[in-house]
Structure 1
Amino acid sequence: MHICRSIEDCRAAVADLRNRGKSIGFVPTMGALHDGHLSLVRLAQTNATSCVASIFVNPTQFGNASDLDLYPRDEDRDLSLLDEAGVEIVFLPEADVIYPPGDETIVETTRLANMLHGKVRPGHFRGVTSVVNRLFNIVQPDVAVFGEKDYQQLMVIRQMVRDLHMPVRIVGGPTMREADGLAMSSRNQRLSPADRLAAVVLSRSLDAAAARAGDPGVSVDDIRDVIANTIATEPRARLRGLDTVAADTLDYLHGPINEPLAIMISVQFSDILLIDQRVIQP
């Protein structure tokens, strides 16, 4: 596995793969890897003949400095996992490589970045698109894989790729879960034992919503009530965002469920914000 810390080295390593007739599947990560990340690697490997991953804790998508400072990091473990998974190149830049001195360019999806979860995390999606644009320019992948757990992020990236005519196919990977149903996340490592037990309420609320969706005459408002009421049963949880939108446009839906419904929730546990999602078919 080739570890690259400079743009020049990464581009040369990718060019070598292409010279050998390989297509490039790309998995951008912020490290602290878990089985969810590795499932994205496997998905990239089924959609391309080689896999490149990046590890970069992107400062522009964090709302406060302390959250950035506390983000879990374990470079040696991450590299070992990626090597075992068959990743051929890992791009591991420092912040000043991605954002050189004097950097002043941002990339933003003006509507999608500032609605739904974007209101809970102002500036977050602008940071995501700005860094993903840079990573795409450096790696120039054929395919890039992102998890569906952050459903709005996936939609934002697809919009950016479409609008900027990027020759990259975006593939969404299904949310991977712990044995008790909690969506896998690097942030789970920061939960206290009590908050970790309480956090299962996210998946429990989505399960309850999916079950309620099968009832005759159920409405979007009914689904919202089920989720809010389920979250309210957990005293350690504070519901920060609940969005029920059309799965393909993220437009708000009301009334009967006549098209695929994307549910996106964000819930606070102490100082940790967790997200989860589910798409319900009519």
Structure 2
Amino acid sequence: MVHSLRAYHQTPQLRGTPHTGQSQSLIHRLDQDHPPAVPPEASACVGITISIARHERARGHHRAPCNAGVQSSLQACDGKKVALVPTMGYLHAGHLSLVESARKCADVVVVSIYVNPTQFRVGEDFDAYPRDVEGDREKLRAVGVDVAFEPPSLYTPAPTQASTSFVVGQDGHTPGAHETFVQVEELQKGLCGITRPHFFRGVATICTKLFHIVEPDVAVFGRKDYQQWRIISRMVRDLDFDIEIIGMPLKREEDGIAMSRCPAHLLLHPQCLPARYQATPNHASVPAAISRNVRLTPDERKRALSISKGLKWAQAAVAEGVTEAPTIRTKIVNMISEAGGTVDYVEICHAENLNPVDAFGPQDTIIAIAAKFGSVRLLDNIEIAKDPAAAA
């Protein structure tokens, strides 16, 4: 493990204000509060200096002290494999499992924590999205993360703009503000892209920026957000990023429900919620962003298990020789509907290009589900490998 990492700072110039000699933390050293003994070979840092220097130059800012260490940092980090786990913070066990996977395939693990405004549209409560900086840092320390990358903003606003100005659907555009976005044209169209057409543009753009800044060798994503994982994989291929994208299987809670932004035990431990929600009776006003699963009533949660049960049934049915996709789809829709859910979509698609398929067998297939119980929209999926005999 790399114990000693440089901490770099964002100066006020980056925020468009006069330089006062003060700085705002951009990179947080997870060992800085309780630094361990540093072995000589671990005194080199991740090559974040290089990326931050280029990041600032690209935005028209020049920092000679930072740029002066670029070459030495490259040499010091030579041979170290860096993994990035992009997150929006408020970390749960699913995120930490991605960190554990990253640790297995890299020497240095960087976790980014950034609530990205371009993934939200007006009315989706960007301001209410939970932030728990110190709690996230403690969790990351516990699993051996080397660096938490916590940029206050990754877009270029006019000096008077707040970050909410980049929430999709705002009126007008300020001259000189950020206007470049990345879209993966076809993969973003179906599934969740139908009801949230802005979302994957924001995801692709922020991941592009993170990849340029951190310059990882590996980036780790969860396959619960299956379409997102495929979109980032395609973007990396098409834009010639020299990054390996790893998709880890989704994590389930004990009763089988797919793990969401927070595990369900938060219901029993309200102190784990941000302070402004702890005194709320039954957490009634907790925003959807905190956790889809937490916001299910006990009855809704029981009925929502029809989603995972439907996926398990489908997997068994295909194993027993059922190949017609419409038959499988209709059965799953009925199971969810009979349990009181509202189906957004149940789609059976080619696992790589996400085009709908008529039959299982010749290709790897994904069954992807989005459904609502009460006001809570849940996502789940299962991958079914191709039948070698059918593919022959």
TM value normalised by structure 1: 0.90
Distance in 2 separating the partners of 1:179 and 1:199: 14
Q: CA deviation at 1:214?
A: 1.9
2-structure distance, mates of 1:69, 1:52: 25
On the 8 A contact 1:188/1:196 being kept in 2, the answer is no
Q: Could you tell me which of 230, 240, 244 is aligned with 1:169?
A: 244
Report the counterpart of residue 219 of structure 2 in structure 1: 144
For residues 183 and 239 of structure 2, the distance between their equivalents in structure 1, rounded to whole angstroms, comes to: 11
- 1:206 CA drift (Å): 1.0
More helix by share: 1
Unaligned 5+ segments in structure 1 are none
Aligned counterparts, 1:110-125, within 5 A = 110-125=185-200
Q: Which letter does structure 1 place at the counterpart of 2:323?
A: V
1:240 aligned to 2:344?
yes
Does the aligned pair in 1 maintain the 2:191–2:345 contact within 8 Å? yes
Letter in 2 for 1:60: T
Q: 1:38 aligns with which of 86, 96, 100?
A: 96
Between stretches 67-76 and 166-175, larger displacement belongs to 67-76
SS of residue paired to 1:188: coil
Sort the Cα spacing of 1:207 and 1:40 in 2 relative to 1 into closer, same or farther, 3 A.
Answer: same
For residue 55 of structure 1, what is the aligned residue in structure 2? 113
- The CA deviation at 1:256 is 4.7
Deviates more, 1:50-59 or 1:246-255: 246-255
Q: What residue in structure 2 maps to residue 129 of structure 1? A: 204
Shift of 1:9: 5.0
Per-residue displacement from partner, 1:95-144 (whole Å, max 9, x unpaired)?
xx211111111000011112222112211111100111111111110000
Equivalenced residue count is 279
Q: Which residue of the partner structure matches residue 19 of structure 1?
A: 76
Gaps of 5+ in 2: 15-24, 28-47, 52-69, 158-176, 262-290, 388-392
Larger Rg: 2
Contact 1:5 1:93 in 2 (8 A): no
Letter paired with 2:328 = I
Match of 1:92 in 2: 150
Do residues 188 (structure 1) and 270 (structure 2) align? no
Letter matched to residue 86 of structure 1 = G
> Could you say if the C-alpha distance between residues 271 and 56 of structure 1 is closer, same or farther in structure 2, counting changes exceeding 3 Å?
farther
Normalised by the length of structure 2, the TM-score is 0.66
Letter in 1 for 2:310: S
CA distance in 2, matches of 1:5, 1:155: 33
Deviations 1:121-176 (A, max 9, x none): 21111110011111111111000000011111111001110111011110011111
Q: 1:67 & 1:217 partners in 2: Cα distance?
A: 43
Task: Report the alpha carbon displacement of residue 39 of structure 1 after superposing the two structures with TM.
Answer: 0.9
Whether the aligned pair in 2 keeps the contact of 1:25 and 1:48 (CA below 8 Å) is yes
Give secondary structure in 1 for the equivalent of 2:188: helix
Equivalent-residue separation in structure 1 for 2:50 and 2:302 (angstroms): 43
